Structure 1
Amino acid sequence: MNQKTYWVSAIISILTGTCIGLAVLLIQEKQKTPITSYSSPVKAATPSVVNIYTQIAEPKAFNDTNEVKHSINLGSGVIATKDGFILTNHHVIQNAHSIVVALHDDRRVEAKIIGSDPSTDLAVLKIGLPNLPSIKMGKSDDVFVGDQILAIGNPFGIGQTVTAGIISAKGRNSIGLNTYENFLQTDAAINPGNSGGALINLKGELIGISSAIYSSTGGSQGIGFATPVDDALEVMADIIKHGEVIRGYLGMDAKKITKALAENLLLPSESGLLVSDITKESPADKAGIEIGDIILEINNTPSKDPFQIRHLIASLKPGTNISLRGIRGQQSYQTNIMLEKQPTMQRITY
């Protein structure tokens, strides 16, 4: 190699290294730069978020001979598919005899109810319009506590509104709002009218359906709840296919056994679930499960959390056989039970 070639190669190597170094520094600096605008994810997601107006007939007053009065309720929804399926909350469309969906581009159209699921407070509507902007779906496993998120909806009917916050918690399941709870908790302002709207990440992807607020005044107090996107999509798929959500049904209610409970009731185990109620003619009743039994395992899964078992049973289809291991008195037992279809209006939560 002559001297000229050597110097050319050396200069090229130095320039290449410099360029790579600058690129790395720029990337690192960009990652450090604080977010000053949410306009990109908002621009991506807002066309898919709709306002929902429902007309509900008010009960007639005693001896009232006038015409039936109607009230207009407000809510939000999310266009989930290009062919017009919309996710919203069950309580948004409950008892409605007329539903109008208002799109971001000012188009308005009447919607048809495909089905709803009171147990998760979700519902699916269908509209017949062309060129519908469906939202991009995120994944529940990609959502973490501390993530920055945005809530989009129609609070108080004032029009589409965006609020920002973080994911405050995941897996909230003892709020007492629904039968099956697995809420994302957020401090993004969620107010009446936001129900059924979108919770999105900073990529503009749907990560949840805004469902409820925790409030003593009716307004936002920094505690809002949303159904995770994976749960919402599962419910939507069942409703589209069957008109309802098909769940397994065992027919019992049980409480978590704590050390204090075990000591007070002189129970033979300090873990498991204590059966507190059995529905007559249910699979649990037919299998001989009794109030006072202690359930230790279902399908080899330790029974320590009633919410976990509730979701396990609900996730299985009718006709599925489960194994159950329990204790009655001082005697342990094992039995197999065939799950049935959960009744539409069922108080027992398993």
Structure 2
Amino acid sequence: MKNSTKTLLALTAAAAFGGFAATAIRDGLEPPAQAAPAAAVVPPLVAALPSAVSGQPMPSLAPMLAKVTPAVVSVHTKQRVSVSPFGNDPMFRRMFPELTQERINESLGSGVIVDAKHGYVLTNHHVIEGADEVAVTLADGRTLKADFVGSDPDTDVALMRITAPNLTALPLADSSALRVGDFVVAVGNPFGIGQTVTSGIVSAVGRSGLRGLGFQNFIQTDASINPGNSGGALVNLNGELVGINTASFNPRGSMAGNIGLGFAIPTSLARSIMDQLIANNGVVIRGTLGLESQDVDARLAQALGMDEPRGAVVTQVFSGSAAAAAGVKVGDVILAANGQRIDGPDELRNFEGLQPVGGRIALDVRREGKPLTLNATLREQPKSFAGVELDPRLAGATFAELPERLRQAGLSGVMVESVARGSRAEVNRLRKDDVIIASNAGNFEDLPGFRASFTQAPAQLVLRILRGNRPADLLMQ
């Protein structure tokens, strides 16, 4: 009997802490063959669960969550859209304006108060993207209008501000101290059903390489992150914010249920983006090395005297760039940046995209078969520039970097950000949101490369574009 009592206490403690051992408790309470019938034993034992085990209180997350949940808010957005039976055809829309109706699209998400004094609320960019109105509902039931401060689509971080007394904010932990196996808790508003808590562990840190999710340095967790949880809090057992829930990976959608692959933006990154949004009037200014690179294949690795085909081999260094100032040369193979392994150009680009202007980078380089460390200070990466700066045939167009979601989907090139009405670019049939993937002016993969390719403009300029999913070649007159 003494052993049975110990077993019961151990199983009871496991159930209270993990929340998933109810079946095990039931099975553990099944009596041995010589014991009294289960019906006579189980009810009084379950009804009289002890408040302590070996003198220690039963473990519970409730005290910690009582401090956390007031800082997690529900985010409600409204977007006004015009709906016409003729779709987006501008001619028919003008001919029959009375048939165009306004519709309000509503969506739900979550957010986290991180500064009670100033009312700052962090959430995901995709939660508030395109919204005309945003409101948040606090855990105490108050609904408040939220003002947009700024957002960064490429890291999926957005910042809002609310004004109200008695706000509760979450302290931000050092997410770089997270280890695989640490317990974490996700708090949010999944499916709009109300504030919900799920728990799990850190499955991985520094996760990247997920298609369509921008610059990546995710915390991976098996805590359930469902639709509506986006923008909510991922906290440690001290009730400190370690991440902003952003996505779940589920190829079959909700039909597959929770498969334990949730991702959160670490607070170290979210804090950096927030500080930039506040300091730079709602925008993020990124640093860049100012180089182009390509994969190291087996043949190239052998020619460079490398043991394995990995790293990013430099194919071009732009004049006046951070890389040029650091002494990077064409043919150098970048293997690591600030100690972070670089397996190819995608990893290098992702690393750069998460660094601020002025950030100092130690590059581990292989040059002519010998290891070398170069130190670079990142310079500002231009977000866009006017086509007339490159070639008169592009006058009226503005070019910008591709959104990172398109790069993660496998595209390279630049995007036409805008085209002035009646301009030479419009006459040449360039349109807003065209993606330029190639040009006879020279090879390029991104905005700096596109600009550098016009060092010697060709007599006939041809751009290969993607419009929607359809390619076309445009001759610039």
Query: What is the TM-score of this pair, normalised by structure 1?
Result: 0.76
The answer for the alignment partner of 2:355 in structure 1 is 315
Alpha-carbon shift at residue 59 of structure 1 (Å)? 5.3
SS in 2 for 1:212: strand
**Counterpart contact for 1:283–1:337, Cα < 8 Å:** no
The answer for the alignment partner of 2:45 in structure 1 is none
SS in 2 for 1:189: coil
The answer for the alignment partner of 1:245 in structure 2 is 284
Cα distance change on mapping 1:298 and 1:209 into 2, 3 Å: closer
The answer for the alignment partner of 2:225 in structure 1 is 190
Residue 341, structure 1, aligned to residue 380, structure 2: yes
Q: Write the deviation string for residues 108-154 of structure 1: whole angstroms up to 9, x where unpaired.
A: 11111111111211010011112111112222133221122111111
CA distance in 2, matches of 1:186, 1:317: 30
Cα distance change on mapping 1:112 and 1:135 into 2, 3 Å: same
**Counterpart contact for 2:364–2:371, Cα < 8 Å:** no
Cα distance change on mapping 1:58 and 1:278 into 2, 3 Å: farther
Residue 40, structure 1, aligned to residue 78, structure 2: no
Q: How do 1:61-72 residues align onto structure 2 when only pairs under 5 Å count?
A: 61-62=87-88, 63=92, 65-72=99-106
CA distance in 1, matches of 2:129, 2:176: 31
Amino acid at match of 2:130: N
Amino acid at match of 2:218: F
Q: How do 1:17-36 residues align onto structure 2 when only pairs under 5 Å count?
A: 35=59
Cα distance change on mapping 1:209 and 1:301 into 2, 3 Å: closer
CA distance in 1, matches of 2:129, 2:170: 24
**Which of 124, 136, 142 matches 1:101?**
136
**Counterpart contact for 1:249–1:313, Cα < 8 Å:** yes
Cα distance change on mapping 1:40 and 1:296 into 2, 3 Å: same
Amino acid at match of 1:226: A
Residue 112, structure 1, aligned to residue 142, structure 2: no
**Counterpart contact for 2:277–2:283, Cα < 8 Å:** yes
Residue 293, structure 1, aligned to residue 301, structure 2: no
Cα distance change on mapping 1:179 and 1:283 into 2, 3 Å: farther
The answer for the alignment partner of 1:268 in structure 2 is 304
Cα distance change on mapping 1:249 and 1:141 into 2, 3 Å: closer
The answer for the alignment partner of 2:112 in structure 1 is 78
Amino acid at match of 1:229: T
The answer for the alignment partner of 1:7 in structure 2 is none
Q: Write the deviation string for residues 200-227 of structure 1: whole angstroms up to 9, x where unpaired.
A: 1122111110010000232332110001
Alpha-carbon shift at residue 338 of structure 1 (Å)? 6.9
Amino acid at match of 1:228: P
**Counterpart contact for 1:86–1:124, Cα < 8 Å:** yes
The answer for the alignment partner of 1:58 in structure 2 is 81
Cα distance change on mapping 1:303 and 1:210 into 2, 3 Å: closer
Unaligned residue ranges in structure 1 (runs of 5+): 1-27
Amino acid at match of 1:241: A
Seq. identity, % = 35
Cα distance change on mapping 1:249 and 1:104 into 2, 3 Å: same
Cα distance change on mapping 1:185 and 1:302 into 2, 3 Å: closer
The answer for the alignment partner of 1:12 in structure 2 is none
CA distance in 2, matches of 1:162, 1:310: 31
The answer for the alignment partner of 2:259 in structure 1 is 221
SS in 1 for 2:67: helix
Alpha-carbon shift at residue 197 of structure 1 (Å)? 0.2
Q: Write the deviation string for residues 285-312 of structure 1: whole angstroms up to 9, x where unpaired.
A: 988989x834347889697445367425
CA distance in 1, matches of 2:217, 2:136: 27
Alpha-carbon shift at residue 160 of structure 1 (Å)? 0.9
Amino acid at match of 2:298: A
Q: Considering only aligned residues, what root-mean-square deviation do their CA atoms show, in Å?
A: 3.7
Amino acid at match of 1:184: I
CA distance in 2, matches of 1:326, 1:250: 17
**Counterpart contact for 1:250–1:282, Cα < 8 Å:** no
Greater relative contact order, per chain length (Cα 8 Å cut-off, separation 6+) = 1
SS in 1 for 2:109: strand
Amino acid at match of 1:101: V
Alpha-carbon shift at residue 274 of structure 1 (Å)? 3.4
Cα distance change on mapping 1:251 and 1:42 into 2, 3 Å: same
CA distance in 2, matches of 1:205, 1:164: 14
CA distance in 1, matches of 2:273, 2:156: 10
Amino acid at match of 2:202: I
SS in 1 for 2:121: strand
CA distance in 2, matches of 1:135, 1:255: 42
* Greater C-alpha radius of gyration: 2
Cα distance change on mapping 1:78 and 1:250 into 2, 3 Å: same
**Which of 192, 195, 200 matches 1:160?**
195
SS in 1 for 2:166: coil
The answer for the alignment partner of 1:208 in structure 2 is 243
Q: How many residues align?
A: 317
Amino acid at match of 2:207: R
Cα distance change on mapping 1:110 and 1:40 into 2, 3 Å: same
Alpha-carbon shift at residue 283 of structure 1 (Å)? 3.3
Unaligned residue ranges in structure 2 (runs of 5+): 1-52, 94-98, 384-399, 403-445, 449-477
